[in-house]
Structure 1
Amino acid sequence: MQYLLMIYQNEVEYAKNDAATTQKMLAEYQTFTQGIIQNGNFKAGDRLQPTTTATTVRVRDGKTLTTDGPFAETREQLGGYYLIEAKDLNAAIEIAARIPSARIGSIEVRPIWVYDK
């Protein structure tokens, strides 16, 4: 089954990291990503640009409305994701717990909807 692992952390706090701390975190991410690739769990994944680059789109009464930034103010922002293959929710949670940002933020684990054909 496929799961989306959404990585949330506080962008403002992360930006306060010095270069050495940032490099250490990036190295941990590279190791983690290589591990799930080698184990066959990896399907896709990317780091996102900061929320200051986001645009929220809504359609109301047939009109497209855009707003700079994310939809809602939160303490943690979506910073990236992994799409993985795992045998069940417990296996997906085990993988999510190894994501480096789980120590400073949170990882939302959500199963991908499977459509009956």
Structure 2
Amino acid sequence: VMALLYGDESRWDAFSDEEREAVYAQYRAFAEDSGMAGVIVADGELASTRDATTVRVRDGESLVTDGPYAEVKEALGGYFVFECESMDEAVEYAAKIPGAQHGAIEVRPIYVDPAADGAAS
């Protein structure tokens, strides 16, 4: 299951160094607790949308633009991949992610292509 973390970048940009460190401490505590339970498989924080590049291919031509695809209030800022027994369990862990207190956490099952089962990656 993947948990996608959305938040308001302008809010983060306005934080002092001390406020950012407090948020990072909350995430470290969450990761430690969840990691000890064997739930977190992977995680990551994404750079700002200001550092994004968007690629589209139209009529065989690559179109590359700086920035995100669209202007949004809440941008994708990070992710966790959970190994859970059920979607209910994944939602319980997602609710513990510190960003859920001021942003949104989108929880999605990861699709596994049955035809690719056992194929080399």
Greater percentage in strand: 1
Structure 2 alignment gaps of length 5 or more: none
What TM-score do the two structures reach when normalised by structure 1? 0.94
Which whole-Å CA distance do the structure 1 matches of 2:90 and 2:50 have between them? 30
Give 2:7's aligned residue: 9
Q: Which runs of 4+ in 1 moved over 3 A?
A: none
Which whole-Å CA distance do the structure 2 matches of 1:33 and 1:42 have between them? 7
Q: Name the amino acid aligned to 1:98.
A: K
Give 1:44's aligned residue: 42
Give 2:79's aligned residue: 81
**SS of the counterpart of 2:28?**
helix
Give 1:110's aligned residue: 108
Which of 54, 59, 62 is the aligned partner of 2:60? Answer: 62
Which whole-Å CA distance do the structure 1 matches of 2:50 and 2:23 have between them? 22
Which whole-Å CA distance do the structure 2 matches of 1:61 and 1:104 have between them? 41
Q: Deviations over 1:76-117 (max 9, x none)?
A: 011100011111111111000000010010000010002213
Which whole-Å CA distance do the structure 2 matches of 1:72 and 1:4 have between them? 22
C-alpha displacement of 1:18: 1.8
Q: Which has the larger radius of gyration?
A: 2
C-alpha displacement of 1:35: 1.3
Give the number of aligned pairs.
Answer: 115
Share of identical aligned residues, percent? 40
Structure 1 alignment gaps of length 5 or more: none
Which whole-Å CA distance do the structure 2 matches of 1:41 and 1:68 have between them? 35
The RMSD of aligned alpha carbons is 0.8
Q: Deviations over 1:12-62 (max 9, x none)?
A: 111111222211110000010111111011110010110000001111000
1:99 paired to 2:93: no
Which whole-Å CA distance do the structure 2 matches of 1:103 and 1:21 have between them? 15
Which whole-Å CA distance do the structure 2 matches of 1:61 and 1:15 have between them? 38
C-alpha displacement of 1:71: 0.8
Which whole-Å CA distance do the structure 1 matches of 2:17 and 2:50 have between them? 21
